């Protein structure tokens, strides 16, 4: 198994010129693409349609290259679009290709590996519940096997794209006599992310499956995953699952590592994540190591107390701007100041993704 990873900037939600160039110059073979993760410039909330716009653009391009329908593209490629590029965060996409090779490795060192999977479509009343979490749990296990990762400790990043509730979806459930987890569409994003992340935590033995019940989700913050990254969107009803880690059976030229931020300005956790792939940042990444760095993926959220380092903030009391937008801007700025590049992936809303107010941070880099 060999994985190649490419990152390209986007000048708008529909701009895939970077991917087109990679395909046309022969760098990327379309039928080897297994996943695309993009940061789009919408508000990241319920009515962020840039995610769907980018997803549609990707499906349209790949359907032409692959000679198949949009639905066929969805079956072959896991597409995750996360909205919100506040502050200095630069819109971009990361493409992952995978091919099976017969080349023998000369060592037992572990290299980057990836496995993708998807759940069935959820019913509105299942979103944000234990049913949701257990579906993710089962499919993360399968994706891990597809990645040829044998030990849960070798998993360093699990990206989930999960659904949310809309008025139409809520009405559909009620017409059938079913009750949804919340009638607040914005809060439904949190419940969906939380259930997805607890599913990851169960799959990776980070929490005891028997302790996770419906009332645990978005309530008991002592249960979380240190590698989950869940992003909710209006553009789907299933869960897209991308498991990344290191495997002895991979001959990729890159590796992945992670750490966990305890709050939005936890720069030491960012440095620890970089160090896990052999990149020093004292105080920031030097020019040579910048060339090794492929991308950084992080989660961001305001603590429910509104405090950071015991200092009061207004992230939770500003009614004009959702707190996830503040958190994304802050975490991106912290990471960008260390790696000297604002084109990194930061997703808002870290329910059960790292400790309360914090979040996982993962780094993919070329092997030195």
Which of the residues are catalytic? 161, 231
Tell me if 365 sits within 8 A of 112, measured CB to CB: no
Q: CA 36 to CA 38: how far, in whole Å? A: 6
Contacts from 283-290 at CB under 8 Å and sequence distance 24+?
283/338, 284/337, 284/338, 284/339, 284/340, 285/338, 285/339, 285/340, 289/365, 290/339, 290/340, 290/341
Phi (first) and psi of residue 193, to 5 degrees: -60, -40
Q: CA 192 to CA 231: how far, in whole Å? A: 8
The DSSP symbol for 282 reads: S
Return the structure tokens found at 13.
């939600």
Q: CA 217 to CA 353: how far, in whole Å? A: 12
Return the structure tokens found at 204.
């990776």
Return the structure tokens found at 131.
């049913």
Q: Which residues pair with 2 in a beta bridge?
A: 99
């Amino acid at each position: 198994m060999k994985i190649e990873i490419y990152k390209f900037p986007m000048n708008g939600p529909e701009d895939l010129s970077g991917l087109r160039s990679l395909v046309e110059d022969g760098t990327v073979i379309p039928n080897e693409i297994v996943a695309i993760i993009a940061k789009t410039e919408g508000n990241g909330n319920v009515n962020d349609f840039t995610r769907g716009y980018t997803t549609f653009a990707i499906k349209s391009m790949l359907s032409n290259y692959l000679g198949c329908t949009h639905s066929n593209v969805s079956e072959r490629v896991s597409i995750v679009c996360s909205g919100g590029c506040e502050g200095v965060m630069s819109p971009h996409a990361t493409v992952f290709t995978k091919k099976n090779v017969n080349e023998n490795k000369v060592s037992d060192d572990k290299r980057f590996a990836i496995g993708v999977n998807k759940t069935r479509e959820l019913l509105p009343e299942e979103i944000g519940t234990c049913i949701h979490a257990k579906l993710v749990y089962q499919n993360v296990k399968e994706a891990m096997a597809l990645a040829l990762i044998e030990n849960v400790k070798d998993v360093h990043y699990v990206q989930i794209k999960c659904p949310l509730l809309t008025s139409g979806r809520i009405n559909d459930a009620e017409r059938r006599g079913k009750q949804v987890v919340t009638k607040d569409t914005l809060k439904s994003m949190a419940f969906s992310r939380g259930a997805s992340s607890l599913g990851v935590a169960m799959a990776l033995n980070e929490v005891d499956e028997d302790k996770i019940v419906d009332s645990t989700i978005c309530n008991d913050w002592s249960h979380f995953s240190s590698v989950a990254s869940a992003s909710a969107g209006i553009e789907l009803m299933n869960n897209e699952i991308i498991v990344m880690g290191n495997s002895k059976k991979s001959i990729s030229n890159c590796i992945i590592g992670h750490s966990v931020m305890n709050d939005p300005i936890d720069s030491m956790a960012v440095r620890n994540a970089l160090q896990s792939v052999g990149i020093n940042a004292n105080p920031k990444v030097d020019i040579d190591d910048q060339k090794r760095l492929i991308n950084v993926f992080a989660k961001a959220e305001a603590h429910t107390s509104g405090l950071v380092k015991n200092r009061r903030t207004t992230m939770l009391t500003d009614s004009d701007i959702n707190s996830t937008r503040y958190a994304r801007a802050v975490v991106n700025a912290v990471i960008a100041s260390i790696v000297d590049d604002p084109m990194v992936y930061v997703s808002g809303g870290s329910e059960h993704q790292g400790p309360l107010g914090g979040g996982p941070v993962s780094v993919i880099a070329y092997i030195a």
